[in-house]
Amino acid sequence: MSTPDGPRRVRVTSPRTSAARRTSGHTGTREIDEQTRVGEVYMSSLIQSQLRLALLVIAGTAVILGSLPLLFFLVPATRTLGVFGIPLPWVLLGIVVYPVVYVAARLYVRNAERIEAEFTEFVGRQ
């Protein structure tokens, strides 16, 4: 029905009215992708956490392995002590070192993955 004053109005709608609407909020990943100041803060906090973990693991490993020569110096009997006919310093420095390094590496990887998972969860919520 048209009125004498003008044409009939037509309502135009999108066929995707039931589609999920895109959120226009700023997510953490969007902040990082767009390299905003907030994104820089997120990334620097992740890097600092990873660096702190790496330095902690390196320091712990260095203390454990660095104490072996100190042990040999302070306790002279350990220099001549043997295990299955092999001198104790050779056993400790040639065999025991590898499990210590392996455990340190596993601890680092597990905690680094945890930090990244927490970061991803946090950034995804923002």
Nearest to 107 by CA among 96, 97, 119, 115: 115
Which residue has tokens 């003008």? 6
Cα distance between residue 75 and residue 85, in whole Å = 19
Q: Is the pLDDT of residue 21 over 60?
A: no
pLDDT digits (tens, 9 = 90+) for 72-119: 889 888 888 888 888 888 888 888 899 999 999 999 999 999 999 988
Q: Is the pLDDT of residue 25 over 60?
A: no
Sequence spans of domains, the chain: 28-125
Confidence label for 18 from pLDDT (cuts 50, 70 and 90)? low
Strand partners, 3: 6
How much is the pLDDT for 95? 85
Residue % of the chain over a pLDDT of 70: 79
Q: Which two tokens stand for residue 48?
A: 């600092």
DSSP for 39-56 reads HHHHHHHHHHHHHHHHHH
Average pLDDT over residues 30-45: 77
Contact yes or no for 108/54 (Cβ under 8 A):
yes
Q: How far is CA 23 from the centre of its chain?
A: 27
Residue % of the chain over a pLDDT of 90: 29
Q: Which residues of 15-40 are buried (b: 16+ CB within 10 A; e: fewer)?
A: eeeeeeeeeeeeebeebbeeeeeebe
Mean pLDDT of the chain: 82
